[in-house]
């Protein structure tokens, strides 16, 4: 149990957590300010190249961004999906929440909205994203996220080199592996930031931001900007946020599931574990992690499909942001 305020973040994104912490402990700030500042830090740093511009291009070579932010006091939410040519996805998500009566804007029209209200247009390509795209074209160039598509050896872009399936030890218990999972596993990159902040007045805010999966089909939107999937905030209960293979995770609305279970009295630890187990019942070994905190300051984290998982926490009990490791199921 931590006293409030508290900040918790998926992955060891220490700077993002520290920025959120210093925001929430400064005068006249809100938990929403802290989530925006923390997630923005990751977009600027391009945390593990899984957040922000310049990595994980889609099948056409373009990087697009997904983000959401949620206010547990009002249940107000804003999100952007497949946002193009703007680097600051979490801030655009906040603008959707605060400056429109809508909840989720996508693609070019999300970009139009952002530019209209003063965000700057930018090129999200980097040397890295161009290289990733070029390598993919040269070494594979097969459609990764299509079902039942066999590699075409006649493709001029080079011989198909399958990426090895992850070792058994990273895959959970069940021998039944869904066909989709193989596709999802092969090209899965991870490290989306999901964040929960609760201030000392028990105001809960959550947020997420990511550049999604590499070589995704253009237009693919993951779980990250979907309310109840990427994150969920409820001032009466607490908040939760997710990272992992969003194409599977979003089928379970795991953040909402966790908050609902906490509402029925489960601890954050048991609630996150139950949600992860439910996903694994259908998709064994799915790469997934969920973080949660309740308004008593108790937190819980559960994960699957990746051996161990690291998350970052800062509460009044810690004199600095702390990285913790948990064992996955």
Q: Which residues bind ligand SD4 (CB under 6 A)?
A: 50, 190-192, 210, 212-213, 222-224, 243-246
Closest separation in Å from C-beta 245 to ligand SD4: 6
Closest separation in Å from C-beta 177 to ligand SD4: 18
Asked if 25 is an active-site residue, the reply is no
Secondary structure of residue 304 in the 3-state scheme: strand
Residue 286 or 313 having the CB closest to ligand SD4: 286
Closest separation in Å from C-beta 105 to ligand SD4: 17
Residue 237 or 303 having the CB closest to ligand SD4: 303
Are residues 206 and 231 in contact, defined by beta-carbon separation less than 8 angstroms? yes
Closest separation in Å from C-beta 246 to ligand SD4: 2
Residue 222 or 315 having the CB closest to ligand SD4: 222
d(CA 243, CA 59): 22
Residue 180 or 298 having the CB closest to ligand SD4: 180
- Nearest CA to 238 out of 212, 277, 264, 275 is that of 264
192, 206, 243, 312: the active-site residue: 192
Residue 171 or 190 having the CB closest to ligand SD4: 190
d(CA 152, CA 159): 9
d(CA 199, CA 94): 18
Residue 6 or 306 having the CB closest to ligand SD4: 306
Closest separation in Å from C-beta 301 to ligand SD4: 14
Which 8-state DSSP code applies to residue 163? Answer: P
d(CA 30, CA 133): 40
Closest separation in Å from C-beta 321 to ligand SD4: 19
The distance from CA 277 to its chain's CA centroid, rounded to whole angstroms, is: 19
d(CA 29, CA 78): 19
Which whole-number Å values give the CA distances from 319 to 19, 22, 37, in the listed order?
14, 12, 20
Closest separation in Å from C-beta 228 to ligand SD4: 14
DSSP letters of 17-64? HHHHHHHHTSTT--HHHHHHHHHHHHHHHTGGGTSSSSSS--TTS---
Burial grade of 187 (CB within 10 A; 0-12, 13-18, 19 or more):
middle
Residue 18 or 64 having the CB closest to ligand SD4: 64
d(CA 256, CA 299): 16
d(CA 4, CA 22): 13
> Can you point out the beta strands (E) in the chain?
6-10, 65-71, 76-83, 104-106, 193-198, 204-210, 231-234, 238-244, 288-294, 299-304, 308-315, 322-327
Active-site residue set: 192
């Amino acid at each position: 149990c931590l006293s409030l305020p508290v900040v918790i973040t998926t992955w060891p994104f220490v700077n993002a957590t520290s920025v959120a912490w210093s925001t929430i402990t400064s005068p006249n700030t809100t938990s929403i300010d802290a989530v925006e500042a923390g997630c923005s830090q990751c977009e600027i740093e391009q945390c593990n190249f899984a957040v922000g511009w310049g990595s994980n291009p889609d099948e056409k070579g373009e990087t697009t961004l997904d983000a959401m932010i949620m206010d547990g006091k009002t249940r107000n939410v804003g999100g952007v999906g497949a946002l193009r040519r703007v680097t600051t996805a979490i801030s655009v998500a906040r603008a959707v929440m605060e400056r429109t009566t809508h909840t989720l804007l996508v693609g070019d029209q999300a970009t139009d909205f952002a530019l209209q209200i003063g965000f700057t247009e930018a090129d999200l390509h980097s040397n890295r994203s161009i290289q990733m795209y070029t390598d993919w074209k040269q070494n594979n160039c097969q459609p990764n996220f299509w079902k039942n598509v066999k590699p075409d050896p006649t493709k001029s872009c080079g011989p198909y080199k399958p990426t090895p399936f992850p070792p058994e030890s990273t895959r959970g218990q069940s021998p039944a592996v869904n066909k989709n999972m193989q596709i999802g596993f092969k090209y899965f990159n991870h490290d989306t930031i999901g964040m929960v902040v609760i201030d000392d007045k028990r105001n809960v805010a959550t947020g997420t931001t990511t550049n999604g999966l590499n070589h995704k089909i253009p237009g693919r939107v993951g779980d990250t900007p979907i309310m109840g999937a990427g994150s969920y905030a409820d001032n009466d209960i607490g908040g939760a946020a997710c990272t992992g293979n969003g194409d599977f995770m979003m089928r379970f609305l795991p953040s909402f599931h966790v908050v609902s279970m906490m509402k029925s009295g489960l601890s954050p630890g048991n609630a996150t574990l139950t949600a992860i187990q439910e996903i694994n019942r259908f998709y064994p070994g799915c790469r997934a992690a969920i973080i949660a905190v309740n308004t008593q300051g108790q937190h819980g984290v559960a994960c699957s499909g990746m051996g161990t998982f690291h998350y970052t926490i800062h509460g009044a009990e810690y004199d600095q942001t702390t990285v913790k490791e948990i064992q996955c199921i």
